[in-house]
Amino acid sequence: MSVTSLDQDLAKKRSEQYDNDNEKEVRGWISTILGEELPTDQSFQEILKNGVILCKLANKIEPGIIRKINTSKMPFMQMENISAYLNALKKFGVPAHETFQTIDLYEVLNSFFALSRTLNDKGGYDNIPLIGPKLAKSRECSFTEEQLREGLFIAGKYSQGYTGGSSQSGMSFGNRREIVYNNPFKNEK
Would you list the domain boundaries of the chain?
7-122
Q: Which of helix, strand or coil describes residue 57?
A: helix
Q: What pLDDT tens digit does each residue of the chain (189 aa) get? A: 567 777 677 667 766 666 788 889 999 999 999 999 999 899 888 899 899 999 999 999 999 999 999 999 888 898 899 999 999 999 999 999 988 887 676 567 678 888 898 998 888 888 888 888 777 788 888 889 998 888 787 766 555 655 555 665 655 555 555 555 566 666 655
Which DSSP letter does residue 171 get?
A: -
Structural contact between residues 84 and 51, judged by C-beta atoms closer than 8 angstroms: yes
DSSP string, 66-93: S--------HHHHHHHHHHHHHHHHHHT
Which DSSP letter does residue 60 get?
A: H
* 3-state SS, one letter per residue, for 140-165: CCCCCHHHHHHHCCCCCHHHCCCCCC
CA dist., res. 126 & res. 118, Å (int) = 12
Overall pTM > 0.75: no
The CATH topology of domain 7-122 is Actin-binding Protein, T-fimbrin; domain 1 (1.10.418)
In this structure, the number of other CB atoms found within 10 A of the CB of residue 26 comes to 24
Choose among 25, 27, 26, 33: nearest CA to 126.
33
